Structure 1
């Protein structure tokens, strides 16, 4: 973690002290000289910081040194930012500009000398830290040569071995996964296959693998078996020697003495010769990285004997890669379901007895935080087993302070170690990103794009040539997901991560690490202000502002978040001394009615979110925030931005819109914002949603063509006359991934026939308004995965052209066609998974030819009042899982009830529903509940999540 702080500081030093302004150099010579020295010292220490970050887990002396380096780096960064504030104004060029610059410098001379003095003091401390560094160098060098067999490592291996020796009575929930894995091992296939077990630490991967490995039928089936523990201290030579020795013993041959002196190539050759003619099972337990697999795989022959390799890993990339390369299988371990979690908990906490009734609620609360993680359940219930069941307060204390319990209870040290190992294995740039998740409250679903923009604003993302910072950040996110440190909560139909979350116990670990490293300070309802650091850098306030101690100095604060504030957050009242160095201000959903004037002096502010507040206007001083990259006003009441927005040349994401859903028949369901016609000067913009272009539309639309970095663009209130200009601008937006267009009114035509070079990377297209004809370029979009056409009223069947879009996954059609018949041809829509057909007023018949939409999983048919029968051929859609009819004729619905004539057509679909819009809400019925023409409505908590969330999604 100290490495990321130092790298960020070195980048800042480079920006400031490589300035060629001679006048600046003369006046601030003292600052420059001290900065140059500071830079040199940190560059020398940086080479060892990555090793030191890893060593500090087990060496207290190194831990102290790392903390000193981190603290000094933070203080130096603050001083440099104060220095930047002294001369941030542009005074123009020429002699008059120079004179004005000189006047400003003289005015700030006193502050400049103070900064030079502070830097000098920093450098004095650096000298002392450097002396300690010289004394610790031998530890760093030894660590870089490879992990040794210290006592901590041995203890870890011993405890890991204990986990493989669990009694069968201590195991629950393994019967079904064991049966499936054994089946995969036995499945007749002559080639060598890899079966991977993937999941987060503590999920029971090794325990399950050992149960399979020790199964008598498995031992009987495979002639040679070996169990190889890989782990983080991977050394290929030691692993290969261990494997060779086990294999010689397995075939009942004495291990040759020469094995001890063989190099890696000789060991691989020996192992390959031993296994070449034998059906073998090799378990590679605890594989962390692909390089470990690559170092071993060539020793394991593909001998066409039905051999198998079983591999356990926390890294899903390792599992998926080995599966693809060997045409194998991956078993993703899932948390224990509640009944089995409760059984395991009671078995351990109450020694096979039942939970006393007076402790049931507390125990279930504790168990909820374990989230089905077997190791956590066993460890925490083991701690509770020592508690007096008559002392409810002791049990309640564990429930309320589980994080502190994990931190301080020796009986939970193994659990903490298991959960912390994945963090320790992260590269430095991912450690910052992972610790950052501590800002979010428990159980909070983290929006992917929100997190990515925050990471970018914090400076965590390293620039890579040819890629945007957001694209690199997306890679970081997927790396954390692959390492099982985050979990996907929801996805879009085309497979993109929409929201993610973090396991509650992992969250407790990173909160502890964040606190120790002064990375983030969390303030909750029962927080003790005295626990705050004197130099808070990130502050996340959860629920109640009353927990914040007033008049607290936070002058070095870099990020401020408020989650669930119960009253208006007066920043001035809470922090009267201010925080001029703030980078991030996230007031999402705060009870605000006015734009916070406190931001006017936040020169370094990069991220400002007032999403879902009641703010109506944006003041003109917004133009002073010249470093702003994200302005999120989504679902606020803002409808117009001042011209000063054009001064924000670094703005990358501009989100200003809100949904106004009154009924599902409403055409204008979004409100955007009015913007100055000169929007084209904001060349850094990547996301711009949603502009109302009905005022001076021609000029605005032509300006859009200058925004060549745009990834997502949303336009409202478009007129037919704007068509040619819009096509011209879109053709220039080669980076565009998502385009949303809506006409000014329902019967206004959208004219997009003049687009001859559409963006080849376009993935999502939403069009709302009349079309004279389907734009000729839509079927040729190679990357298009989602298409939404509404109120088009085409005279020709659009399916004829749309069926050949190669990668289309989701298709939404509403009032698109005025004909009476739709036919899905056998050669069409090969990758389509989701189809919605809504309000085809003349539609009487739908035909689905065999072979059409062979991947379709969800089908929704809504408000087609003249449709006489269910789609003919729907029985061919073998992958269909969800079928919904909304506001459809009762006579049609009777045909698919259990005794209806067409029930056989839909009997293969697991979920079939009928929904009706009644008095501003949905009533949902299961087809299976319909008898004698009557429906039994389903309680809202029983019907599919798809129905509950459909109208909340962006269409």
Structure 2
């Protein structure tokens, strides 16, 4: 019954937003692409002059080395990046270089259509291979089937050291169409692929070595150089006039290092008068120019191709990044939980919704549509954002599909029609105009301005259908007493302004569908006993949470997977600690002020949590904790002495040791914490030296140090430092000032280093 209902709801949603229930390429529906003719800039990329290329020196050398040096086995070399980033231009410059021309007997370039068929691709490949080798085409080539075409191409490549470039590949199963053609003669032959989708290349690992270069945006300096080459190539001696430098900088920053946009905008401005007034007008209307100007429409077209290629279930997930402000870094857990609350995430066998949603985010990242801005220690995205021009495209799609409306300080956004999602970065007077939008399902507020108490109270009355209420970045005066009106709410996040205890209203117990509750503020939140009724609540997060009214009631919240940070500095702490043992699904637990006298109860409860992966804010480090085999993250440890014994913490990947006033020594036995990747030593003023036995941490990648004694580094052995510098890829010290003592055997410490190998 539920499966059928979900199918109907998903179908209705896909129809409403124009999302096709298909994995095939969709169709663009943006206003600009309907009305303007355009020339595909990917064709022009094949004919760019050397003098017009900027920022490709390092990647060109890297790719050339992969192609002409290294292993004899056939290898797939690839360039991955978002649309318009210069993949084709870079590949063509490498392909046409003297180093490549002199190294390969046969060089073939094939531009791959999004809608290619395998026989057509193989036929094109055979034609170009024969032309390259100067041999006669086999008879009946137009009637050959796939098997015959494969045999012919293999025969022609068999005795050659070949390079075949497949430009602009979209199909993630592309390798299946060419792997038998690309014969491996152990002579250094190469396949070269350009793609927006990392999975295209990953699939090649099945039967080939691969090398992947992920193209990065141009730096600001490189962007300005490219912009000037295109804007002033005819006049001004190729240099930006002084009076236009400031405006040019602002325009270029909007491009965020995307060569396609820089070249297109620079080319357009080369035809404009070079005066401040003209350029200021262009800068102020740049967003609308991108969507309507015939010379710039290709930018959105190119970026929209990536959107059109998305399967239907990923389209709303990408559009969701449009609810956040420009250049906003969103935590991956936050957006994932909101996707789930919105109903975007499909159930899959043997996977939690969280795991499915994480897969969605990974796919958007691999398709070069979402950028990773920060990483967790396990390599997953901690924070992410979208490129400014991708965001522009998202906003256009959102407008077309009525996906989300924005209200900003100027109040110019039209709120006509049914508004499903509302994103607000505004003052109260403008907010009044949209308060009555009762169809809103998701409400977001961003900014530092506070709302008046009347708005705090009025929201639950006006927005009864909300599923997502995200005010984490917008300070509220009070938690509305009538929270119970949000009977459909699944995600609730609030930031409070007061510097005192905030009592969460009892009406929160009426939110039977709530899955995520986030409470931010300067002080702690006192939770009512009614919160135990929230049987669907999976994530309960607060700056500091008091469970004084819950005690054993917390154990009834069986769905909890995340619970932090709970203060146990209260009467009845033992009862709360005992009840925590009933939370069998808990994965992420943060506790404050665990009483030492309750250590045995704490031990029993923790050992009941079979899925526990992350434990934070623990003050003591009892011996029994060494046996928590599923633990992967232990943060904010505040104990007195640390000795990691052989066999302890087999899965721990991240360890933060902080604020330990008396801690003097850390000992790491061989065989303990073998999976550790990151170690942070923070505010340990009495720690004498680097942990003894640090060389046993064979997987250590990051070492972070701050707030230790001035003599810390000099007391550590040269042997330990040499091991660190040889084996640890990232070492960060925020503690010391450089003294220029390069003769010191511990000079590495004196250099205030930030080293990335």
Q: Give the TM-score normalised by the residue count of structure 1.
A: 0.71
The TM-score, its normalising length taken from structure 2, stands at 0.88
Aligned: 1:285 with 2:167: yes
User: Counterpart of 1:57?
Assistant: 28
Q: Does 1:535 align with 2:413?
A: no
Shift of residue 653 of structure 1? 1.2
Note if contact 1:281-1:309 (Cα within 8 Å) is conserved in structure 2.
yes
- Displacement of 1:714 in angstroms is 1.9
Which whole-Å CA distance do the structure 2 matches of 1:422 and 1:813 have between them?
44
Counterpart of 2:476 in structure 1 is 592
Which of the residues 722, 727, 733 maps onto 1:875? 722
CA contact (8 A) 1:788 1:811 kept: yes
Q: Deviations for 1:673-721, whole angstroms, at most 9, x for unmatched residues?
A: 5450211222222211122334323332332233222221222332344
Q: Which residue is 1:722 aligned to?
A: 598
Contact conserved, 1:600 with 1:624, CA < 8 A, in 2? yes
Q: 1:517 to 1:52 in 2, by over 3 A?
A: farther
* Contact 2:643–2:666 (CA under 8 A) maintained in structure 1: no
Match of 2:742 in 1: 898
Give yes or no for contact 1:346–1:353 (8 Å, CA) kept in 2.
yes
Kept in 2: contact 1:810–1:834 (CA 8 A): yes
Matches within 5 A, 1:122-521: 159-322=41-204, 325-351=207-233, 353-390=238-275, 392-521=276-405
Question: 1:700-711 to 2 correspondence within 5 Å?
Answer: 700-711=576-587
* Matched residue, 1:686: 561
Contact 1:545 1:565 in 2 (8 A): no
1:461 alignment partner, SS class: coil
Q: What is the CA–CA distance in structure 2 between the aligned matches of 1:382 and 1:175, rounded to whole Å?
A: 23
Contact 1:589–1:613 (Cα < 8 Å) also in 2: no
1:826-905 equivalence runs, <5 A? 832-837=676-681, 839=684, 841=686, 843=688, 853=698, 855-858=700-703, 860=705, 862-864=707-709, 869-873=715-719, 874-877=721-724, 878-880=726-728, 883=731, 897-903=741-747
Q: Which whole-Å deviations, capped at 9, do the CAs of 1:45-92 have from their partners, x for residues lacking one? A: 9999436996653799xx9xxxxxxxxxxxxxxxxxxxxxxxxxxxxx
- 1:811 aligns to 2:646 (yes or no): no
| Distance change (3 Å), C-alpha of 1:806 and 1:263 | farther
Task: Report the counterpart of residue 656 of structure 1 in structure 2.
Answer: 542
CA deviation map 1:474-523 (0-9, x unaligned): 11111111111011111123323211111001101100110111000011
Q: CA deviation at 1:445?
A: 0.7
Residue aligning to 1:712: 588
Match of 1:608, SS state, is strand
Counterpart Cα distance in 2 of 1:784 and 1:574: 44
Alpha-carbon distance, 1:826 to partner:
7.6
When residues 467 and 851 of structure 1 are mapped into structure 2, their CA distance, relative to the original with a 3 A threshold, is closer
Contact 1:555 1:581 survives alignment (8 Å): yes
Q: Structure 1 residues 945, 363: CA separation in 2 closer, same or farther (over 3 Å shift)?
A: farther
Deviates most, 576-585 or 625-634 = 576-585
Change (3 A) 1:470 1:394: farther
CA 1:402–1:617 in 2, change beyond 3 Å: closer, same or farther?
farther
8 Å CA contact 2:456, 2:479 repeated in 1: no
Closer, same or farther: CA 520–710 of 1 in aligned 2, 3 Å:
same
Please give the secondary structure, in 2, of the residue aligned with 1:234.
coil
Measured in 2, the distance between the counterparts of 1:533 and 1:231 equals: 40
**Does residue 793 of the first structure (1) align with residue 643 of the second (2)?**
no
The match for 1:579 is 463
Indicate the RMSD between aligned Cα atoms, in angstroms. Answer: 3.7
Aligned-partner Cα distance in 2 for 1:829–1:243: 52
Report the CA distance between 1:353 and its aligned residue: 2.5
Q: Name the CA distance, whole Å, in 1 between partners of 2:15 and 2:502.
A: 51
Q: Answer with 1 or 2: which has the greater Rg.
A: 1
Where does residue 11 of structure 1 map in the other structure?
A: 6
Mapped partners of 2:405, 2:497: distance in 1: 24
Residues 1:340 and 1:424: Cα distance change in structure 2 (over 3 Å): same
> 1:257 aligns to what SS in structure 2?
coil
> Taking structure 1 as reference, are residues 483 and 48 closer, same or farther at Cα in structure 2, changes over 3 Å only?
closer
Cα distance in structure 2, aligned partners of 1:944 and 1:221: 40
Choose 203-212 or 294-303, whichever is displaced more: 294-303
Unaligned runs of 5+ in 2: none
CA offset at residue 787 of structure 1? 3.8
Cα distance in 2 for partners of 1:719, 1:14 equals 49
CA distance in 2 between partners of 1:510 and 1:542 (Å):
18
How far did 1:383 drift? 2.1
Aligned partner of residue 428 in structure 1, secondary structure:
coil
Contact persistence 2:439–2:463 (CA under 8 A): yes
Shift of 1:819: 9.7
Encode CA deviations 1:880-913: one digit per residue, 9 max, x unaligned.
455566778x9xx98x82132443xx3xxxxx56
Give 1:917's aligned residue: none
Q: Structure 1: how far apart are the matches of 2:451 and 2:755?
A: 34
Partner-residue secondary structure (3-state), 1:590: strand
User: What secondary structure sits across from 2:314 in the alignment?
Assistant: helix
Aligned residues: 741
1:624 counterpart = 2:475: no
SS at match of 2:204: helix
5 Å matches for 1:545-556? Answer: 545-548=428-431, 550=433, 553-556=436-439
For residues 629-650 of structure 1, give each alpha carbon's deviation from its aligned partner in whole angstroms, at most 9, with x where no partner exists: 1111033534311111122222
Q: Distance in 1 between matches of 2:435 and 2:684?
A: 59
Give the distance between the partners of 2:133 and 2:156, measured in 1 at CA.
Answer: 9
Helix, strand or coil for the counterpart of 1:519? coil
Residue 821 to residue 361, structure 1, CA distance change in 2 (3 Å): closer
Q: Which residue of 1 aligns with 2:525?
A: 639
How far did 1:945 drift?
12
Deviates more, 1:783-792 or 1:446-455: 783-792
CA distance in 1, matches of 2:397, 2:542: 36
Q: Structure 1 residue 369: deviation in Å? A: 1.1
Tell me, yes or no, if the aligned pair for 2:71 and 2:188 is still in contact at 8 Å. yes
CA contact under 8 A between 2:457 and 2:481: conserved in structure 1? Answer: no
